[in-house]
Chains A and B, each alone.
Chain A
Amino acid sequence: MVPKSLFLKIFLWFWLAMTLVGAALLITTEITRPDVRLPRWREFTGDTISYYAERSAAVLEEGGREALDSYLEEIEQTSQIRATVFDSQGNQVSGHSAPRGADELIARAQGSTEVQYQPRGRGSMLVARNAEAPDGRTYTIVANLPGPRMRPPIEVTDLIVRLLTILCTAGLVCYGLARHLTSPVSRLQTAVRDMSAGNLSTRVEPGLRTRNDEFADLGRDFDFMAEKIEGLVGAQRQLLRDISHELRSPLARLNVALELARKRSGADARASLDRIELESERMNELIGQLLRLAQLEDHVDGGEPAAMESVQLADLVQEVATDADFEASGQNRGVNVLEARECVTTGSADLLRSAIENIVRNAVRYTREESQVEISLHQTSHRHQPCAHITVRDRGPGVPEASLEELFRPFYRVGDARDRQSGGIGLGLAIAERIIRLHGGTLTASNARGGGLQVEVHLPLDAKE
């Protein structure tokens, strides 16, 4: 498994590196540590063997071979050291049979006054020492001693404890390091996500104030950018709102002037005046929707919840469908509710009604003559949250796949000529989308199998107690 998050990567890599370095250090120090036991052992054995050598020589001088034999016997019994005494010609004088391969050692010992050593198998050591008897003859004593006790094998529990200590310390340090390095990154990430979700007032600075590194610079740059964007978007919206408001005044005058013209003109002008009235009505409708959209976007961005009341979605869908069916029947179209399960959500009934109404009206507009718009409402769950799923499907031409995403953009038109004829302004779905978003839901569009556009609403429901 390759860890995906930067935090995990940094943490695991540094942790691994520190642990490996620690373990390597532990092992090398263990291997190269000078053994202090050997010199001490030599000193101790040297003294002992020298003493035995001198005593043996003296005993041989005084009591002959038998006395020496018993002396060596006594040594063996008291200290488990089996010694052999040689004369200067290298012949065995007394003791146990000489250990094999001792000749060279004996020769070495005879030429020296120092204790001579020769390692043998299994950690034992042959030790030899020359000694001069009081009569001037020299003897050599050879003993097989257990070698210096080898370094005890490293205890497994000891090793585990040390490794664990390294792991824990490294883990703590690496955790801190990884946190320190990645926390500003994740902070920036949340801020960017917040911003793309529409919350333009997001800033990262307060969280990075204590730092003074590149991350802090990046945070400040982000804040600067966010401020610019917020200003631009705000100005654009304000402009749209101001224009919309201001357009109403000339429109009000136009309406009055129109009626004056109606009074004063003859029948010839009637058709044109009717047309002017219709267009002015459309313009007014458009302005109203624009203002509505701007207001909704403010609500969505401000995170202001919609009016809080309990809304029976099934009733709402039924009502909208009945009205729309009534209107559509005049145009040889129909609206049909396939299924409407009981669903209760919290929000503004007025807003939700107009969202569903906009979606259904849009469907009625595009569905073929003699066909039915189908609505269904049922309950599903999304991320373990109960959620209402409303589907509105028409039997119209559908929308090119590439345009599906654009459908909720204000003024978006799939095909200009047809849309204008059908009387759409291009704001209905945009408004619906903002309303659904305001209620914490989502609105998606897809082409249904068998033709026609399918718009789906997902709305979080009240959790059942």
Chain B
Amino acid sequence: MKAANPNENILIIDEDVELCELVREYLDGEGFEVTVINDGADGVENALTEDFRLIILDVMLPGLNGLEVLRRIRAQSQVPVLMLTARGEEVDRIIGLEVGADDYLPKPFNPRELVARIRAIMRRAYPPGSDPAPSQSERLTSGDIELDLGTRALKRAGNAVKLTTVEFDLLAVFLRDIGTVMKREELVESVLGRAFSPFDRSIDMHVSKLRRKLGNHPDGSERIKSIRSVGYLYTTAPQ
């Protein structure tokens, strides 16, 4: 277990006391120091008086609503905020981003994804100014695709493309082994982090979504190919 880093203190504003405890425990193990507030108004006060590196804010709060909390925080502070939204509530998400949330995560979330996002937001908000470690800005490139593993950002032909955590990890796995057939089982284990089950179609869905977001190679040839009964293949970019 890593030692808690006082520079990585996080405030969670969420009504669900038990969930907050579990998240605190999990983030603790990831090296974050967590403060929990279960009420919107107290949350605003805490967020503005203490110096947090990041705030996790639930949209559904009793009393002062999450969006209002965000508005009040933003009036005085630029601290990074990650919003937790109810899945499918498109409106909450859009308004949240408009009001100034840095990212959002639908509830229920996978804590691994939560940590990945927290790290990504922090990297963007607090770039390592003094000693830029080259390992942190490792890049994978192929043709028009440029994947920055440090900031977890993807650019295609210079334009940013937004990917989910799973899609990002999937693309990273593909780019590391361009031209190699990746077995479905391997992908499930390395990207979703669990054993493959024959009825589990989620990896196919993720590949399909990634494929749609990336499109074909600029010359029109297929970027990601499906190999019957085996898995998927990221093709070499045409010269």
A-side interface residues toward B, CB under 8 Å?
245, 248-249, 251-257, 259-260, 263, 270-271, 273-275, 277-278, 280-281, 284, 288, 291-292, 319, 323, 326-327, 329-332, 421-423
Contact = CB atoms under 8 A, between A and B. Distances in A.
Contacts of A323: 208, 211-212
B108 A252 contact: yes
Given A248-B86, A326-B226, A281 B109 contact: no
A257 to B, nearest CB: 6
A20 to B, nearest CB: 69
B76 interface: no
Q: Is the interface of B mostly helix, strand, loop or mixed?
A: mixed
B87 A253 contact: no
A274 B203 CA distance: 14
B29 A263 contact: yes
Contacts, number: 92
Interface stretch (B18-26, B42-50, B119-127, B156-164): B18-26
Interface string B195-212: 101011110110110011
A248 B87 contact: yes
Contacts of B29: 260, 263
Interface string B67-111: 000000000000000000011100000000000000000011111
9 contacts: A248-B86, A252-B109, A254-B108, A270-B195, A275-B195, A323-B208, A323-B212, A327-B205, A330-B184
Contact of A260 (B25, B86, B199): B25
Nearest to A334: B228
A330 B229 contact: yes
A249 B226 contact: no
A327 B229 contact: no
B26 A252 contact: no
A173 to B, nearest CB: 60
A253 B184 contact: no
A260 B112 CA distance: 10
A170 B210 CA distance: 76
Given A252-B16, A253-B19, A292 B88 contact: yes
Contact of B197 (A254, A257, A278, A332): A278
Nearest to B203: A330
A254, A274, A332 pick with most chain B CB within 10 angstroms: A274
Contacts of A256: 19, 22-23, 25-26, 111
Contact of A423 (B87, B199, B211): B199
B208 A327 contact: yes
A288 B19 contact: no
A420 B162 CA distance: 34
A343 to B, nearest CB: 22
Interface in B192-238: 194-195, 197, 199-202, 204-205, 207-208, 211-212, 226-232
Given A248-B87, A323-B208, A327-B201, A332 B228 contact: yes
B204 to A, nearest CB: 4
Contacts of B207: 326-327
A281 to B, nearest CB: 7
Given A255-B109, A330-B229, A277 B212 contact: no
A253 B16 contact: yes
A356 to B, nearest CB: 15
Nearest to A325: B226
A249 B107 CA distance: 8
Contact of B226 (A255, A330, A422): A330
A29 B29 CA distance: 111
Contact of B22 (A251, A253, A273, A288): A253
